[in-house]
Amino acid sequence: MDQESLVSVLDGLLSKHHQRLLLQLEHILDRRRQLNSVVSSQGTDLLAAPPLVIPLPPEIEKEPTFQSGLAERQERPSLGESEMVSRMQTLASLHSTNMPPVIRDTSLDRSGSYELAKQASKRIRDSLPSSEAPELPSIGVSCLRRSQASLLELVNSLKFETFFAAVIATNSVFIGITIQWESSQRTLKVPSAMFFVQLAYTMIFLLEVLLKVLALGLRDFFCSANWGWHWFDVFVVASAVFECIVEVVTQDPQLSGSSSNLRILRVLRMTRLTRIFRVIRVVRFFRSLRTLVFSIANTLKSLFWAMLLLALIMYVFAILFTDIVNSYMLENEGVESAGELEKYFGTLHISVHTLFMSISGGLTWKDASGALAEISWLWVYVFTSYIAFSCFAVLNVMTGVFCQSAIKGAERDQEMVVQSLIMDKQQLKQSLTKLFQKMDDEGNGSLTLTHFEKHFQDEEVKVLFEALELGATDAWTLFLSLDHNEDYLILPEEFLEGCLQLRGTAKAIDVFMLRRQINKLIMHMTETALTQQHLVQTLADMQSAEQQSSCQLDTGDS
């Protein structure tokens, strides 16, 4: 082969390489765009799917080689040409090693889209083995499960709770009527009408417990979050049933006079007090009453320590006054004031009782201090110091601690907090509705920018916005914030939803989501920059390889 034919073959081969590089670069960019579109449409399902393979276009499916160019001439190369062929094969291999790898953009899989999260949750839930037991073909078991589900829905319904709350309240009133009749007649036997009413209440309470057991099952009934109330209900119902049985037995004339039966009946009558405690369950239906009861319940711990401190103070002063009085009476027997001293400070028990009544209003402390004046006025001043310290320091501090405990207890009551938030939200919606109606003076059911700017200058409207914690510098900014669908028209739903979202200062969750979105945006920008840098480096390597092959060809020609 002559030199001119070899140069023409090399020129054609380099031209084909150059065209293939351009086509391959364009194909890489097209493949990236297709990957982005597929990832955006399929989301996280690509993680479990096999790698996406996009076929090369026919123009670059097969890489042209130096041998193919020579085959067109159908000539066998000489020794110098063989060396040129090996160089060109080296160039081709260099070109193939510098090809950019397939870039798989997985950052979009973590975009935080709601739809992608729902798809991922569904896929994970479907992949996990089902925890439910396989359905049995028995028709009886299926009916039993449906019946239990229906009972559970009935037990958890508001009508069920309201009915039995009314029964508990009326039963408490009936117990009071029964006690009043027994105390007026001085007997433990009640009329038959009262007994049948008591029996009806017992049957209703027994039905309540049985329905709860059937709905929840024995395990959930006795080991659930409300196990305390459930055990208490069982105890109350059991005592009521046993009391009815004893009432029936004592109706027999031969057994009614038995002293053991009467003692058992008196003990069972005392258990009626536990039924009155069930009235606490009615408290949850009244918000104000529930607040008071839970506040008092949360002060019991503080009450215990307060009473312990007060008892310690009274105990110390009682020992002091009792010892002084005892020494005085031993030294002065038969004095006229001995009766008064014995009355107020004769023993330690009496002294503690006197000190407690002196600070709680049960006794005028002037009488107790007057008895100590017979011994010495010094002890009168000591007693007065005890009164001042207890009333002005101890009791006031206790009152403050009780108030703080009651407030914290009410704040920790989750149901009360939820009810308070719901009521506040309802009141806020009512206020926003009135504000919208005031601004919509034409009654169109919508607000335009003209109406919004017109009423925004109204001082009353500004005050309402400030009261609702919707601070805005101008009407246009607030209008854009409330116009969600960007149709320059604010509907009542948009107004309510926008005002609820803009109310108050930025919440922690809003700041957190903003930071998260910014971090994701930074990650996407970083990955895009790295991809572009990789493409630029690939193009530079291709150009360097092409220049190197051109230099080698020039050297071979020379």
Q: Are residues 206 and 261 in the same domain?
A: yes
Q: Are residues 158 and 255 in the same domain?
A: yes
Q: Are residues 14 and 39 in the same domain?
A: yes
Which residues have C-beta within 8 Å of that of residue 14, sequence separation ≥ 6?
Answer: 546, 549, 550
Q: How far apart are CA 427 and CA 433, in angstroms?
A: 10
DSSP class of 361: T
Backbone φ, ψ for residue 106 (5° rounding): -95, -5
Which residue in the block uniquely carries the two structure tokens 């955006």?
A: 40
Point out the domain boundary residue: 389, 412, 435.
Answer: 412
Burial class (CB in 10 A: 0-12, 13-18, 19+), 100: middle
Q: Are residues 277 and 318 in the same domain?
A: no
How many C-beta atoms lie closer than 10 Å to residue 102's C-beta? 13
464: in domain: yes
Number of domains in the chain: 4
Q: Are residues 258 and 303 in the same domain?
A: no
135: in domain: no
Q: Are residues 243 and 197 in the same domain?
A: yes
What CATH number should be reported for the domain holding residue 305? 1.10.287
Q: How far apart are CA 102 and CA 457, in angstroms?
A: 60
Helix (H) or strand (E) holding 345: helix 338-345
Residues 494, 483 contacting (CB under 8 angstroms): yes
Strand pairing partners for 447?
490
Backbone φ, ψ for residue 252 (5° rounding): -70, 125
Q: Are residues 160 and 271 in the same domain?
A: yes
Residues 241, 206 contacting (CB under 8 angstroms): yes
Q: How far apart are CA 433 and CA 485, in angstroms?
A: 20
511: in domain: no
65: in domain: yes
Tokens representing residue 31 in the block? 């493949």
543: in domain: no
One-letter amino acid for residue 259 of the chain: S
Which residues have C-beta within 8 Å of that of residue 394, sequence separation ≥ 6?
Answer: 309, 310, 313
Residues 358, 387 contacting (CB under 8 angstroms): yes
Point out the domain boundary residue: 285, 308, 343.
Answer: 285
Q: Are residues 453 and 494 in the same domain?
A: yes
> So what's the pLDDT on residue 320?
94
Q: How far apart are CA 280 and CA 169, in angstroms?
A: 10
What CATH number should be reported for the domain holding residue 197? 1.20.120.350
Q: Are residues 454 and 367 in the same domain?
A: no
Which residues have C-beta within 8 Å of that of residue 495, sequence separation ≥ 6?
Answer: 432, 436, 447, 482
Provide the residue range defining the domain that includes 462: 417-502
Q: Are residues 408 and 423 in the same domain?
A: no
Point out the domain boundary residue: 285, 313, 342.
Answer: 285
DSSP class of 280: G
CA angle 193, 195, 201 (to 5 degrees): 105
Q: Are residues 29 and 102 in the same domain?
A: yes
Chunk the chain into consecutive blocks of 10 residues (it has 558) and report each block's average pLDDT, rounded to whole numbers.
Answer: 58 68 71 62 46 46 45 42 44 42 40 63 66 49 75 84 86 87 78 87 90 84 78 85 77 54 64 73 72 80 90 94 89 75 90 93 88 89 94 91 82 66 75 80 78 76 72 73 78 81 72 84 87 85 79 68
Which residue in the block uniquely carries the two structure tokens 């609702």?
A: 468
Q: Where are the beta strands (DSSP E) in 322-445?
A: none
541: in domain: no
> So what's the pLDDT on residue 63?
45
Q: Are residues 178 and 241 in the same domain?
A: yes
85: in domain: yes
> So what's the pLDDT on residue 232?
83
